[in-house]
Structure 1
Amino acid sequence: MEAVGSCLTNKYSEGLPGKRYYGGNEHIDELETLCQKRALAAFHLDEQKWGVNVQPLSGSPANFEVYTAILKPHDRIMGLDLPHGGHLSHGFMTPKRRVSGTSIYFESMPYRLDESTGLVDYEMLEKTATLFRPKLIIAGASAYPRDFDYPRMRKIADGVGAFLMMDMAHISGLVAASVVGNPFDYCDIVTTTTHKSLRGPRGGMIFFKKDPVLGIELESAINNAVFPGLQGLDGARVEKILDMASITLNKNSVPGDKSALVPGGIRIGSPAMTTRGFTEKEFIYIAEFIHEGVQLTHEIKQAVTSGSKVQDFIKYVASSDFGFTAQVSDLRKRVEALTTQFPIPGL
């Protein structure tokens, strides 16, 4: 917080170290260069082979910066479909709307999971890529609790003459700790945030091979498990009840969903609790609390008589007729009894 809130934020520093538009950036240059060296070292990268830009504010801007650097408007991209665990910035669109800037400026074709296995359907990805001929294939996800087959994706990308990019925002800490596959061995570009499993301040980074063709120079923190099949429930209702019980997570689409607003899953990130000192024992307690919250949500849903929509559920929960205050309060007390034993760093 001292660094992010310092006077360093009060100075324009457009450009790169040694190539600024404004003067008076000598100290900014020193710090940015140091950050670049540390970023490369964190992922065991040879600075002769890899470069890194540490200026993005977050992951989505980092991704869009990559797109505008190596693509032309309306070039084709392929990323994991949002309802199957992908990220909005990877090109998601609906039949009626181009939802993100990525799908507005570029033509996207999603690849999806094999719903029988829950794994990326690489065979279909290869067939679709052969027909669609994307210029960029994006690995990485927002809610896919499995590793990617980088060699297979590299082969597919080479087969259609595409760049291969990995958005490792949610697993970058695991990559740095070498407990999951290494995207740097196969990808042309790797993007990440710094504030998820890497546990740094908010920001983003773009790693790129020093290749003129591009035109642009732990284990306990397994992130973003997706819990589908919530006993006929949906993630929106579960999210609400768990929030009331001091458990913060978010609803998330899973394969087979028809609406991203009323999805069938929830997404759970563990890095923040890992930073606070949670071990496997505490995470078992958390899993039990979540399970209890899901069961409680089911009971509450059955008690709603005014309608079947999520809005009716939320209205009932906030009303004076809500008959589960004691149960929610009891769960919250037990959650807080556990979590308050592990103070938040800096507070």
Structure 2
Amino acid sequence: MSHTVDSWNTCLNVPLEVEDKEIYELIQQEKWRQYSCLELIASENFTSQAVMEANGSALTNKYSEGLPGARYYGGNEHIDVIENVCRTRALAAFNLDAQKWGVNVQPYSGSTANFSALTGLLAPHDRIMGLDLPSGGHLTHGYATAKKKVSSSAIYFESLPYQVDMTTGYVDYDKLEQNASLFRPKLIICGASAYAREWDYARLRKVADQHGAYLMADIAHISGLVASSEAANPFEYCDVVTTTTHKTLRGPRAGLIFFRRAPKGEKNWDLEERINFAVFPSNQGGPHNNTIAAIAVALKQAASPAFKAYAKQVRANAVALSDALKAKGYKIVTDGTDNHIVLWDLRPIGITGSKMEKLCDYLAITLNKNAVHGDSSALTPGGVRLGTSALTSRSFKEADFVKVAEFLHRGVEIAIKLQSTAGKLLKDFIVAAESSEEVKALKAEVEAFAHSFPMPGFDPSSVPAALRH
């Protein structure tokens, strides 16, 4: 006997285009924006169709508090397999021995992964050292201002940041070691959101050992490069490694926590229990099973030869972009890059990062304002951060990034003209940019260039013509 659908459930099998036209149309417009833009935000990427399918699957319906084999709900026989597959693939992607390393794949994001790692490693008010935000660090590494503790990592723990050398832009390891001898941290965090150079993990391990401290690497930005051996390996030196999964790893938006395993009684012997407990029940509820499946798909891709070739191209493209900007006389922080990030110092030309970001929005180029060492204001930073991961996913090569640099150069020239007439205030600059015919003309060139490259994850031709704006 079959039953008909009750009236209160008729909406449950209606496609989005029919059920909620407003949201459907906004999604289509966002698809077209992504296809039409030069995406240079270093923390973004274009993931695959397979990842999107897993992330938008029926797995979103299942509640699964706990770990595989130890859930608080029934009906998890398939979810357990999926999570275990994801954990196995995470270790394989980073060439880790399952006897020496474990991983929790449940964190909802990189920030929750970091706070869960800190919760597992530390007691309240323990001391931590992370790279200062104006030096390229991340909020979750203990950021605080003179007036306010900004991140929960600064609220619940005592934080002393380390910095880059104000002349070179490289991490000042000597000063870090000196300050650590006075501060005696329980945890040292290495990793950044706007640092273009390699990390000296061996040096950091040495400093941590001097004080019996844990060493944690946050490789959110470079995890795809680490997995493909295009960046130094933090797993050789660190006790815990965290990462997001949506940047160079090219997966869905989520986080991972890797932890060392050791026999009982040795150092780190209880890290697995402490980290897992910190994730759930301490900081999260039920995991997002759809996202875990999508992570598993991305990790399978990350272990492939094709992904290794992709990661190599990401780095080559970053060098090409950096070199092309330097050839036009611009200042690049640390004079280059070892990864996917190019940090562009705009202070010598008198344009703030805020103005450059706004202007580029009007040019169909997406990037973000970013502090550079020596900045005094996070609201009007002196630079912008550029990344090559997303456009490399659209098959951009070195010569294409030289063209991107030309667009950016022309954007700077326009910005200088607009500022000379509109004045220093950002709101007046925006008004001038909105009405500039020169801006509109360059935007048309940028979009035509962007449309000449393939788009991963979806077919741009499926976007209705009326919504292509």
Choose which of 403, 407, 412 in structure 2 pairs with 1:289. Answer: 407
Choose which of 163, 176, 193 in structure 1 pairs with 2:214. Answer: 163
Q: Output the CA distance in 1 between the equivalents of 2:228 and 2:53.
A: 26
What are the superposed Cα offsets for residues 9-45 of structure 1, whole Å, 9 maximum, x if unpaired? Answer: 1111111111111111111110010011111111111
Aligned residues: 340
Q: Paired residue for 1:149?
A: 200
Query: Would you say 1:224 and 2:341 are equivalent positions?
Result: yes
How large is the Cα RMSD of the aligned pairs? 1.3
User: For 1:266, what is the secondary structure of its paired residue?
Assistant: strand
Q: Output the CA distance in 1 between the equivalents of 2:425 and 2:441.
A: 26
User: For 2:385, what is the secondary structure of its paired residue?
Assistant: strand
Q: Output the CA distance in 1 between the equivalents of 2:393 and 2:75.
A: 37
Structure (1 or 2) with the greater helix fraction: 2
Q: Output the CA distance in 2 between the equivalents of 1:46 and 1:116.
A: 41
Query: Would you say 1:304 and 2:405 are equivalent positions?
Result: no
Deviation for aligned residue 1:311:
3.0
TM-score (norm 1): 0.95
Gaps of 5+ in 1: none
Amino acid at match of 1:292: R
Q: Output the CA distance in 2 between the equivalents of 1:175 and 1:346.
A: 24
Q: Paired residue for 1:65?
A: 116
Equivalent positions of 1:1-347 (< 5 A) are 1-211=52-262, 213-214=267-268, 215-217=270-272, 218-221=311-314, 222-230=339-347, 231-305=349-423, 308-318=424-434, 322=435, 325-347=436-458
Q: Output the CA distance in 1 between the equivalents of 2:443 and 2:420.
A: 21
Deviation for aligned residue 1:224:
2.3
Q: Do the aligned residues in 2 keep the contact of 1:142 with 1:224 (CA within 8 Å)?
A: no
Deviation for aligned residue 1:338:
1.6
Between the aligned residues of both structures, percent identity stands at: 57
Amino acid at match of 1:311: K
Q: Do the aligned residues in 1 keep the contact of 2:215 with 2:239 (CA within 8 Å)?
A: yes
Q: Output the CA distance in 1 between the equivalents of 2:108 and 2:66.
A: 15
Q: Do the aligned residues in 2 keep the contact of 1:80 with 1:90 (CA within 8 Å)?
A: yes
Q: Do the aligned residues in 1 keep the contact of 2:418 with 2:432 (CA within 8 Å)?
A: no
Gaps of 5+ in 2: 1-51, 273-310, 315-338, 459-469
Q: Do the aligned residues in 2 keep the contact of 1:80 with 1:138 (CA within 8 Å)?
A: yes
TM-score (norm 2): 0.71
Q: Output the CA distance in 1 between the equivalents of 2:202 and 2:71.
A: 39
User: For 1:205, what is the secondary structure of its paired residue?
Assistant: strand
What are the superposed Cα offsets for residues 145-166 of structure 1, whole Å, 9 maximum, x if unpaired? Answer: 0000011000011011110011
**Which ranges of 4 or more aligned residues in structure 1 deviate by more than 6 Å?**
none
| Higher RCO structure (Cα 8 Å, ≥6 apart) | 2
What are the superposed Cα offsets for residues 175-233 of structure 1, whole Å, 9 maximum, x if unpaired? Answer: 11112211011111111111100111221111111136443321222322110134111
